[in-house]
Copies of this chain bind each other. A is one copy, B any other.
Amino acid sequence: MSDKLLEMETFVRVVEAGSISAAAEQMSVAKSAVSKRLSDLEARLGVQLLARTTRRLNLTDSGRAFLAQSKEILAAVDIAESTATGSRGLIQGKLRITSPLTFGLMHLNPAIREFMRLHPDVRVDIDFSDHQRDLVHGGYDLGLRIANLGDSQLAARPLTQIRRAIVASPSYFKDKALPKTPKDLLELDCLHYSGASDSRWVYISPNGQKGAIEPIARINANNGAFLRDMAIAGGGVINQPTFNIYQAICSGELITLLDDYCWQELTACIVYPKTHYLPLRVRAFIDFLTEYFDRDEPYWEREIAQAVKQ
């Protein structure tokens, strides 16, 4: 007898991924295996669930109904198993995460190492990318997002505020005056992050008024680390989240400009599919990260504050 649950799981994944190849990729098995599971399932039921050309998959009516029931069943199994183990156990399986590139590379490594130390049976599959992946479609358990999001399909758990700062290398100002107002930035070499939806640099001035400038980008790049290193090398002025530049600020490689202005903040969030049941490993990881990135003051803010004091 074949493994019915595995067949159902495969079927669901194929539908959500949109193709057999993608589902195979996500499940880390050969696509021949996925193809076989699917056709075995259909043979057993004697019904075609997916009308497939080589290029496109379409749910049949039977398939649509079976899909819904399969999801229910898979969730029920998860629930049954986790209630059986109680709170203490069964944090296991593969955790599929998508994370913004720079933030992930700079701050996720130790967090994940610690989480995996706590839960030896968890494996992790991370996709670093500044493209916002479709969680369901991509088969991700959760994603990190740095945005002021209003995504409706997903549940979101705020992690911490992301402050920004305008910084440049001290050497950059050897022959230039420090800016006094945001407008002064327009005269300088601004290095801009091209991934942002808004090409302006938005601020609140010391007297509480909102404002924005549209910097003339000397360089556009879709990678924060690149912009940071360029600024450190004296390439110009950047507007970047503090998590990216705190080390350079502490070391003095970068100095903050227009300190009394408050540059548009973002929120770091964990997003995950709004499902009535969340696998234990996902819940555990969310709780862990929430703890890890102290909501009020993440460690990079503390380090900056300390450096300023000295």
Q: Which residues of A contact B (CB under 8 A)?
A: 1, 3-6, 8, 44-47, 49, 62, 65-66, 69-70, 72-73, 76-77, 79-81, 83-86, 88-90
Contact = CB atoms under 8 A, between A and B. Distances in A.
Given A3-B3, A5-B5, A76-B72, A62 B46 contact: no
Contacts of A1: 3, 6
Nearest to A81: B45
Copies of this chain, complex-wide, total: 2
A46 B82 CA distance: 10
Contacts of A46: 85, 88-90
A73 to B, nearest CB: 5
By Cβ-Cβ distance, the 9 closest A-B pairs, closest first, are: A69-B80, A46-B89, A3-B3, A66-B84, A45-B84, A73-B76, A62-B84, A4-B5, A45-B85
Contacts of A88: 46
A95 B304 CA distance: 73
A76 B81 contact: no
Contacts of A76: 69, 72-73, 76
A120 to B, nearest CB: 13
Residue of A46, A65, A86 with most partner-chain B CB within 10 A? A46
Nearest to A60: B84
A65 B85 contact: no
Given A46-B90, A47-B85, 12 more contacts: A1-B6, A4-B81, A45-B89, A45-B90, A46-B85, A46-B88, A66-B80, A66-B84, A69-B79, A69-B83, A70-B80, A73-B73
A113 to B, nearest CB: 24
A229 to B, nearest CB: 44
Nearest to A73: B76
A181 B215 CA distance: 117
Most chain B C-beta atoms within 10 Å of own C-beta, residue among A3, A83, A84, A85: A84
Contacts of A80: 8, 66, 69-70, 73
10 contacts: A3-B6, A4-B77, A45-B89, A46-B90, A47-B86, A65-B84, A70-B80, A73-B73, A73-B76, A73-B77
A30 to B, nearest CB: 16
A123 to B, nearest CB: 13
Contacts of A81: 4, 44-45
Nearest to A72: B76
Contacts of A4: 3, 5, 77, 81
Contact of A83 (B44, B65, B79, B89): B65
